[in-house]
Amino acid sequence: FDPIVIASRLRRMGDQCNMDFERVSSEALAEVLKGKVEKFGAAVDSLRRNWSDRNPELVYERAFLSVSVKLLTYIAKKIPDLLHPTHLIQVINGNAQVRNYIEAHGGWVRM
């Protein structure tokens, strides 16, 4: 696999998420912003539900990936020392539905 291709695809997915994290009320997001990075996955799921409610045409997996990347980017800008890209990898790999979606679409090369 080519990490540059994967990063580019993830970046495009994150760009699709137009969520303003400053205006979103999420207990899990508040916890992450306080430094509890172990809540990153819970924050992604909470934010994904919020965004999917406003954009019902999105399939779960694409919404999950978009919100994950957007949140990681937001936290990296707001609190750069707090988060590491491995959090995104763990969240994606820990979600069998998302992993299966990626594989079913030919992997990252075809996403």
Tens of pLDDT, residues 28-80: 999 988 888 888 889 999 999 988 888 889 899 999 999 999 998 888 888 88
> Among 84, 30, 40, which Cα is nearest to 64's?
40
pLDDT band at 111 (very low <50, low <70, confident <90, very high): low
pLDDT tens profile 87-105? 788 888 889 999 999 889 8
Which residues contact residue 98 at a Cβ distance below 8 angstroms, ignoring those fewer than 6 apart? 61, 64, 65, 92
Distance CA 50, CA 14 (A): 15
Distance CA 35, CA 61 (A): 26
